[in-house]
């Protein structure tokens, strides 16, 4: 009974209704010898009364289970009308119910506003007050959300402490004003739940405009919510203007494309040579991510990686790339490959552990794998990152510091991170012969790296004059369209010198 009482009112009603049907059916079955006898005479099966009762009991039980599952499934699908209790213990609709309501609104050609919000500090509340108090706080927040939207829209609970408010017919500016009012109203909820500190939330608001897809509306709302959270507690982003909304729609489309590509095999790698500037021999190749859409068009990573970062897909992308590269290295012992590693992966301890375990299982090729990181990606716990890099180096893996010179922390990165290779940012390499200042920077970086025992790669080598200048400076390796464009693996292999180790 305690578990039943924890269900939402509508779900509890569905379960009890089905149970009442079963009880009534059982009473009727066990008390209906006359009905059973009459049925036996009609069908002429030769069964006794007890057999018939057993048969009817099975039917009643099957109908009970069917009704119960249908009722619970209806609750899970958010099939209740607006304002009714729904599929969770907080009496709110769920994600699927929100998508359906958005679809109905857009199909009718109506406009409105979707507000996606996240209650601040719930983890701290659970840790400091206990889960019972945290649940009470969430119940109070849910009740406040329902009260705030009773006459204007519908509240939904998406996941954890993330909620959504759908406001049909409400312009986004009015929705923004409502969010500010709610922020003030919720100030008293924490005290009601036994918490002295003020309850706040972060929120993003997106216009619901005919022509949009329901999933896109929700994705854009969640993107805006994440941006609001980056601004600190209690941050409510003003609604986007038309240009911002168009850009967000593009990001949402690429996010969906990339998610589908990860599942459907539409991602692939091309390889750009990193060559010895003196003899032209390919020493390494950098694996570069590509996406092929449903029309067969190929898109470089720069087109969709910003969407991958917004949707926090980069760890999954990095895992996919690492699996592909390990397979290529095992099949082609003449290759040495560079792989870009995202900042999201570097900042995620679980992802770092996964990469270490995967490389440990591939130690037969680890010494031919170089992971590229940028100086901006390691902002955070530098000590933990340094320890992880040393662990990876012990497994045989190498590291390259990409875009050296692009930011102000380059020298700190060289001093603090155990890298093997530095890649000079291409902005210093382009037009090297015509820009003495750039030449001075490249000479200084090359001299410092060589003093530290590091290999140097110059990026963006776009013409022969630049290659010659780099050779004069003493830069060992180069990468750029003049030296070799990204190409499929088969094309890369056909150009390799068989003597390459």
Task: Give the integer Cα–Cα distance in Å for 383 and 276.
Answer: 34
Strand-pair partners of 271:
287, 487
Please tell me the predicted confidence (pLDDT) of residue 114: 95
Task: Give the integer Cα–Cα distance in Å for 91 and 9.
Answer: 7
How far is CA 476 from its chain centroid? 39
Please tell me the predicted confidence (pLDDT) of residue 237: 93
Non-local CB neighbours of 429 within 8 Å, separated by 6+ positions? 438, 442, 458, 459, 460, 461, 466, 470, 480
Please tell me the predicted confidence (pLDDT) of residue 367: 97
With b for 16 or more beta-carbon neighbours within 10 A and e for fewer, the 197-221 pattern comes to ebbbbbbbbbbbeeebbbebbbbbb
483 and 460 in contact (C-beta within 8 Å)?
A: no
pLDDT lower than 70: segments of the chain: 1-91, 121-141, 144, 146-152, 187-198, 376-380, 405-413, 497-501
φ, ψ for residue 206 (rounded to 5)? -130, 135
Strand-pair partners of 206:
114
HSE-up (13 A, CA, CB side) for residue 352: 18
Non-local CB neighbours of 38 within 8 Å, separated by 6+ positions? none
pTM of the predicted protein model: 0.71
Please tell me the predicted confidence (pLDDT) of residue 67: 58
Spatial CA neighbour of 395 closest among 362, 346, 422: 362
Task: Give the integer Cα–Cα distance in Å for 1 and 16.
Answer: 11
Spatial CA neighbour of 234 closest among 193, 271, 190, 203: 203
Give the N- to C-terminal CA distance of the chain in Å, as an integer.
Answer: 70
Spatial CA neighbour of 492 closest among 182, 200, 207, 283: 283
Please tell me the predicted confidence (pLDDT) of residue 144: 67
Task: Give the integer Cα–Cα distance in Å for 475 and 455.
Answer: 9
Spatial CA neighbour of 373 closest among 350, 353, 344, 349: 344
Please tell me the predicted confidence (pLDDT) of residue 157: 87
């Amino acid at each position: 009974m305690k578990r039943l009482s924890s269900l939402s009112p509508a779900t509890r009603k569905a379960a009890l209704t089905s149970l009442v049907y079963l009880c009534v059916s059982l009473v009727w079955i066990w008390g209906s010898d006359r009905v059973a006898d009459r049925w036996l005479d009609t069908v002429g099966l030769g069964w006794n009364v007890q057999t018939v009762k057993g048969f009817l009991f099975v039917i009643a039980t099957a109908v009970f289970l069917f009704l119960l599952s249908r009722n619970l499934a209806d609750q899970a699908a958010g099939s209740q009308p607006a304002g009714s209790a729904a599929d969770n213990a907080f009496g709110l609709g769920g994600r699927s119910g929100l998508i359906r309501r958005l679809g109905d609104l857009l199909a009718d050609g109506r406009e409105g506003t979707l507000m996606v919000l996240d209650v601040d500090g719930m983890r701290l509340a659970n840790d400091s007050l206990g889960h019972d108090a945290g649940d009470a706080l969430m119940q109070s927040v849910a009740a406040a959300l329902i009260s705030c939207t009773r006459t204007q829209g519908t509240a939904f609970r998406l996941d954890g402490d993330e909620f959504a408010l759908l406001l049909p017919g409400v312009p986004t500016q009015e929705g923004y004003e409502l969010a500010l009012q709610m922020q003030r109203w919720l100030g008293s909820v924490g005290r009601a739940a036994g918490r002295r500190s003020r309850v706040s939330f972060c929120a993003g608001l997106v216009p619901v405009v005919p022509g949009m897809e329901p999933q896109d509306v929700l994705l854009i709302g969640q993107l805006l919510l994440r941006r609001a959270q980056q601004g600190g507690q209690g941050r409510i982003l003003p609604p986007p203007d038309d240009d911002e909304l168009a850009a967000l729609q593009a990001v949402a489309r690429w996010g969906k494309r990339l998610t589908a590509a990860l599942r459907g095999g539409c991602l692939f790698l091309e390889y750009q040579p990193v060559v010895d500037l003196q003899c032209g021999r390919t020493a390494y190749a950098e694996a570069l991510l590509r996406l092929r859409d449903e029309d067969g068009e190929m898109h470089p990573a720069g087109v969709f990686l910003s969407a991958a970062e917004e949707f926090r897909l980069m760890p999954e992308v990095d895992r996919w790339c690492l699996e592909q590269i390990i397979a290529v290295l095992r099949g082609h012992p003449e290759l040495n490959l560079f792989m870009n590693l995202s900042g999201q992966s570097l900042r995620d301890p679980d992802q770092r552990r996964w990469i270490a375990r995967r490389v440990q299982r591939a130690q037969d090729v680890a010494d031919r794998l170089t992971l590229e990181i940028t100086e901006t990606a390691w902002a955070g716990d530098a000590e933990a990152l340094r320890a992880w890099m040393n662990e990876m180096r012990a497994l045989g893996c190498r590291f390259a510091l990409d875009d050296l010179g692009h930011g102000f922390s380059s020298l700190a990165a060289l001093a603090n991170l155990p890298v093997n290779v530095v890649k000079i940012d291409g902005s210093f390499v382009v037009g090297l012969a015509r820009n003495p200042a750039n030449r001075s920077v490249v000479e200084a970086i090359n001299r410092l790296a060589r003093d530290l025992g590091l290999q140097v790669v110059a990026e963006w080598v776009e013409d022969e004059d630049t290659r010659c200048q780099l050779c004069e400076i003493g830069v060992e390796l180069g990468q750029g369209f003049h030296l070799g464009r990204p190409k499929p693996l088969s094309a890369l292999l056909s150009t390799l010198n068989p003597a390459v180790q």
